[in-house]
């Protein structure tokens, strides 16, 4: 497996997490590097662990996981997005993001990496360099996503929380549509 393929796979797998990081960064009142590092580390860790778990699972469950990963991601992201939209708003952005929220978002954005890990089990490859690359690239992109999102959020003001929730819901539907083509019937 070439380094180009590994890098492209790493960037592709990190895009959902990057977008969610942008969304969450928009909702942070005062930029907190510790929180940005926590989000980036959590997302990078899960993006690296899921392909490893998938690789370990191998062929046995690949069709089952592929058939439900998009539904799980849709439900989790819609739940969190709706929670952001309808949560009590005092007109200001919040610095609150619980560890549980970060955990759920990290899982939701890395479920597709589990299926990719299963596909890796069909190849004669060394998994360690791949998961390290996925984790590092996801960490970097998510850290930058929180920083960029915070700047955009400062510009958008109180609209940031609403738009962040909408973005999470759209990511969920995008993941669902990529697997089912459901929305292609309407557009």
Residue 121 and residue 55 in contact, taking contact as beta carbons nearer than 8 Å: yes
> With bands split at pLDDT 50, 70 and 90, how would you rate the model's confidence at 135?
very high
Q: Domain range spanning residue 27?
A: 3-179
Res. 180: pLDDT tops 90: no
The answer to the question of residue 185 being in a domain is no
Residue 184 lies in a domain: no
> In the chain, how many domains are there?
1
Task: Specify if 187 maps to a domain.
Answer: no
Whether 94 shows a pLDDT value over 60: the answer reads: no
Q: pLDDT band for position 105 (50/70/90)? A: very high
Alpha carbon distance 159, 103 (integer Å): 25
Residue 68 pLDDT exceeds 90: no
Residue of higher predicted confidence among 23 and 185: 23
Q: Output the CA–CA distances (angstroms, integers) from residue 30 to 1, 26, 45, 162, 183, in the order listed.
A: 42, 10, 25, 18, 37
């Amino acid at each position: 497996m070439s380094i180009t393929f590994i890098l492209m796979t790493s960037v592709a797998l990190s895009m959902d997490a990057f977008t969610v990081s942008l969304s969450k960064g928009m909702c942070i009142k005062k930029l907190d590097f510790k929180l940005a590092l926590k989000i980036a580390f959590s997302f990078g860790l899960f993006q690296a662990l899921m392909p490893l778990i998938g690789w370990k699972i191998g062929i046995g469950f690949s069709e089952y996981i592929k058939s439900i990963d998009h539904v799980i991601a849709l439900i989790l992201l819609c739940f969190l997005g709706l929670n952001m939209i309808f949560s009590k708003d005092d007109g200001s952005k919040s610095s609150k993001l619980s560890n549980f929220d970060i955990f759920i978002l990290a899982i939701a954005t890395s479920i597709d990496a589990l299926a990719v890990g299963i596909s890796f089990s069909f190849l004669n490859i060394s998994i360690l360099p791949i998961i390290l690359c996925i984790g590092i690239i996801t960490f970097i992109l998510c850290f930058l996503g929180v920083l960029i999102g915070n700047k955009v959020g400062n510009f958008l003001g109180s609209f940031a929380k609403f738009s962040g929730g909408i973005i999470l819901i759209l990511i969920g539907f995008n993941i669902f549509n990529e697997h089912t083509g459901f929305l292609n019937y309407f557009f």
